[in-house]
Structure 1
Amino acid sequence: MTKTVSNYSDIADLKARIRACTVCAKSQSPLPVTPNPIVRGTAQSKIRIISQAPGNLAHQSGEPFYDPSGARLREWLGVNSATFYNEDNFAITPMGFCFPGYDKHGGDLPPRKECAPLWQDPLTAHLQGVELTLLVGMYAMKAYLGRDAHRTLTETVRHWRDYGPNVMPLPHPSWRNNGWIKRHDWFGEALETLKRRVDDLVLRQDAEG
């Protein structure tokens, strides 16, 4: 059952509820690790990152994108760690808030299905300051673009202009996508546009603050 926005007094209350969530640990196929939901954002956040789910390093540290993927993402955005982890700049609300564990090949499992129906709509309602949403990976693209998403991640990202200026689809910045990035040189133009948009929003946020 999806919770309604009226259940939460403000974004701080909502984040506290998310961080205390243990729904996936009580399911028929429970989370293989101790729940440690990771979420960031304030009512002033200008940019929202909706990714897949935290990795193991993020799970252990409690910090989202606390790994090489995060370093690459910050490079894509053109920001340093201090700017990235300033919640007034970036809200981070993945499709699954806990590290889902590893599959038999050593890759991360998909985000838990329990998370998004419970928390994504309330987060959208409380993050009223967001002017740019980054959809990182196919799970986020399918959930938020619906029929406007193309059949594959590549084609969805290739048509990034169709979703702007307030939405940008991105591949996951994992090293596993090194080959993808090398094969698609057109992605560089998307990143240059993204950096300019982020710079504008972050500078404006600093000026307003």
Structure 2
Amino acid sequence: MSTPMQTHTIHLLAKKEVAKNVFELRFSKPESFDFTPGQFVQFLIPSEEKKTPRSYSLSSLPSDAYLEFCIKFLDGGLASEHFRTMNIGTDIECRGPLGRFVVDENNDDHYFVATGVGLAPILGMIRSLIEEKKDDHPIRLLFGVREEDDLFWIDRLETLKQKHSLFDYTVTLSQPQPTGGWQGLKGRVTEHLLQHLGKQRFYLCGNAAMVKDVRTLLIEHGVDTTDIHFEIF
């Protein structure tokens, strides 16, 4: 592992909008950079005469030749505006890796719950289980967004499903467009969480309200707090 808070200079390789105001960014990977899926880095965003840290989780694997992030651009946001205008090849400093939101080494089944760009670290964790660890335990993902325009990386989830017969995922929209023709599940993730509840280790990532509600619901249904890991975006 890299020394915590070690500073690296990386440059932008690719930038692609994958959903409404959601961008996939790939940066060069320093030779000395190693991390565990689920961890994050702090980008040092230039602002006036100082550099302001902003944290983003990695969605790539240590074996990938690049560092990948999935970022929701917010109008007026310091990092959002910087990345929005950032040109391919431009350098930026970052620190890390940081964080303890990683998959436990155990023999439990895995249940991941993500909303929005909370899918970023979770995708890396799932990829690691399937592609690197060759995990033979069931892996389930419940992914929620507001509407059709907010969906992204479904093609990646389909590819992972084809690779691993024990992986399955469910997508739900909390506010689908009336004329959008959405045929999948509707409602918040809490409305569908209990359908596949069993003896599992849970990993939650998304906004604070979702994490709180899902954690409360799991505890109410007998899940031990030590089996619930979470990261708030």
TM bin, normalised by shorter chain, reads 0.3 to 0.5
Which structure's CA Rg is the greater one?
Answer: 2
Going by fraction, where is strand more abundant, 1 or 2? 2
- State the TM-score, normalized to the length of structure 1: 0.34
Going by fraction, where is helix more abundant, 1 or 2? 1
- State the TM-score, normalized to the length of structure 2: 0.31
